[in-house]
Structure 1
């Protein structure tokens, strides 16, 4: 359980970093909810498997931090 919490916190931090880097673009998203595809990209960049990435992003959708997938 602790490992899951650490990985989820890492995913949220990575998502925040990805968003702050993307804020230099002309159209920026200043805060939650973040796009689902950005969440997947951030978690995969951290080395998670596709199923782990999907699970974490789905959890963040439930909490309102990520927009649902289309």
Structure 2
């Protein structure tokens, strides 16, 4: 009987977690991924060198914050 109550409690917790994730704020056009060109402009405005800015944006592409460049 104890196992059944533990399983039931875990199921309620999983449903509650799934519901909270599903009800998160919808993604608008303001959120990631940002454009690669905008990332380069931001790094230039922050005073980073062009090579360091490119590296920095490439790292953000790997993390999913910036969309890959279109060449």
Report TM bin, short chain. 0.5 to 0.7
Q: For the residues of structure 2 that align with 1:37 and 1:64, how far apart are their CA atoms?
A: 15
CA-atom RMSD, angstroms?
A: 1.2
Map 1:29-68 to 2 at 5 A.
Answer: 29-68=29-68
Query: Which consecutive unaligned segments of at least 5 residues does structure 2 have?
Result: 1-27
TM-score by length of 2: 0.58
Runs of 4 or more consecutive aligned structure 1 residues displaced over 4 Å after TM superposition: none
In our comparison, the structure showing a higher alpha carbon Rg is 2
Q: What residue in structure 1 maps to residue 25 of structure 2?
A: none
Query: Which consecutive unaligned segments of at least 5 residues does structure 1 have?
Result: 1-27
Paired residues, number: 43
Structure 1 range deviating more: 40-49 or 28-37: 28-37
